[in-house]
Structure 1
Amino acid sequence: MRSAGLDLVKWTAIVTMVADHLRFLWPAADGLFIVGRLAFPLFCLAIAVNVGRSPQGQLFTRGNLRYLGWMLAFAVLSEGPYRWLDPATQTLSVIPTLTLGLLAAWAVWHPQLQARLIGLGALLIATLFSAQLMYGLPGVLLPAAWLVARNRGGVAWLLPCLLAVAGNLTNSWLLEHLTAPVTVLTMLAALLAIPLGCLLLRCDDRPVPAVGRWGYLFYPLHLLIIKGLQGVL
């Protein structure tokens, strides 16, 4: 079923992600980096909601396999545009992190052994290659943490809050400058993404355009457009 609230979450994630990447056109607008910290937790929320909609115990459905297939395909297709835009990057694009996060969320949602083994494999990969993953191991755990918090409530809400902050601290500069204003504001933005996501999900009565499968293509395409505009502006 289409959810206007979920579409609003996706649109907010897309807009804040694009705002962050506009720094490649206007390097002086470094405040956009802080705005961009809202995007990743919201994308993780979208994954958690989608996983939570599937019947528990039905892991290898056509829908789940198609979902994973799209993620894997665009993880490959996006890497070239991502590295072309940011040749100095030390990490992969964000999609491998989200893909492993999907597998970890499956392990939390589905009770069968296969799901737990798949999730364990995802966490092992995330642990071994945390330095190469955007947002590292905390980022891989975030979709599962969203699932746990939404189902258990209470103190469980600390999990996504802590992981959203910890994911940003995989950035070595932020970790080395914990008291710098930009670091404090970055951590605050990541933290606020959690209640913001909850608020947006409740907006099911708003007329929001649907975010369909074009959303997968949007990621590499907007990177290519920004790179193209660098040669013009």
Structure 2
Amino acid sequence: MKNLERNKSLDLIKWIALLSMIIDHAWYILPTELQEPFRWMRIVGRLAYPLFCLAIAANVCRQPVGHLGGLNYLGGIFFFALISQQPYSRFFEGNHLNILFTLGLGLVITQAIHHLKPTLIAAGITALAIAVVYRPILSFGLCGALLPAALLAALQARVIETRIVTWSTAALIAVLANTGAGIMLLPDLPARALASISAAALAPLLGLALLQFRLRSIRPVGTWMYPIYPIHMLLLNSLSITWA
């Protein structure tokens, strides 16, 4: 199979996802008295995960059905997920698994749905089972693992009615992944919660709009993005300790 031509719009989406993630994480090291005035950083951060998932879905969607690609991509995700877990646990001081585990499971599920090969279907079912079992400690939970597949369905929709349903479903799953189902049950949501919900819901539509851009040039987001994940957390953690 020939290598697919690089999609510069996808690089733009990855850049926005990467920068919004770093902005989100940087909020945690702000002095306590600055956290509330800079709450907008957390709202910007709600864009990151849906855009990362859209990048995965768009890459899978471009693959000819039956011709599996991205094995190195998948291997890189899980390799750096393992490397990133210790810096992630130190930074967030919890027992959750980092975002790369969720993205890796989501990629396996999405490829299984797209290619429909028996071995991939078995792998997808296994990945889904893992996401169900580990959902309490999986970053963005079960919805996070399902979001790339939901976005794949949205990208593949051709009939306008189907597009509306699939993109609405993807937006809902993005909200549930980012905020959890509990926030949707609150009778009177505060303004910052509404802002977070809106950002998460609009992220897939923002990504769809960005995919329509035809950029002439943009710096590619390559495999260097993997080590950036643990490195930026180590750096932020060091800054937090220094300022403290």
Same fold? TM cut 0.5:
yes
> In the alignment, is residue 75 of structure 1 matched against residue 75 of structure 2?
no
Q: Using the alignment, how far apart are the partners of 1:206 and 1:218 within structure 2? A: 25
Secondary structure (helix, strand or coil) at the match of 2:218 reads coil
In the alignment, structure 1 residue 232 sits paired with structure 2 residue 239: no
Matched AA of 1:232: T
Which structure 2 residues correspond to residues 13-162 of structure 1 after superposition, within 5 A? 13-26=17-30, 27=32, 28=35, 29-59=38-68, 63-87=69-93, 89-152=94-157, 153-162=163-172
Structure 1 stretches of 4+ with a deviation exceeding 3 A read 174-178
The aligned counterpart of 1:169 is 179
Relative to structure 1, the CA distance from residue 96 to residue 171 in structure 2 (aligned partners, 3 Å threshold; closer, same or farther) is farther
Q: Which blocks of at least 5 consecutive residues in structure 1 are unaligned?
A: none
CA offsets, 1:137-162, max 9 Å, x none?
11101101111001113422122111
Match of 1:198 among 193, 208, 218: 208
Superposed displacement of residue 181, structure 1: 2.0
Q: 1:215 aligns with which of 209, 225, 228?
A: 225
Give, as a single letter, the amino acid of the residue that structure 2 aligns with 1:75.
A
Is 2:14 the partner of 1:10?
A: yes
How far did residue 64 of structure 1 move? 2.6
Distance, in Å, in 1 between the alignment partners of 2:147 and 2:57 is 9
**Would the aligned equivalents of 2:61 and 2:156 in 1 still touch at CA under 8 Å?**
no
Amino acid at match of 2:59: N
| Structure 2 counterpart of 1:13, one-letter code | A
2:61, 2:155 within 8 Å by CA — same for their partners in 1? no
Runs of 5+ consecutive residues of structure 2 not aligned to the other structure:
158-162
Shift of the alpha carbon at 1:14? 0.6
- What CA distance in whole angstroms lies between the structure 1 residues aligned with 2:214 and 2:11? 9
Give, in angstroms, the shift of residue 38 of structure 1. 0.2
Identity of aligned residues (%): 39
The one-letter amino acid paired with 1:149 is A
Task: Kindly indicate whether the alpha-carbon contact (under 8 Å) linking 1:135 and 1:167 is maintained by their aligned counterparts in 2.
Answer: yes
Tell me how large the CA RMSD over aligned residues is: 1.7
On the 8 A contact 1:177/1:183 being kept in 2, the answer is no
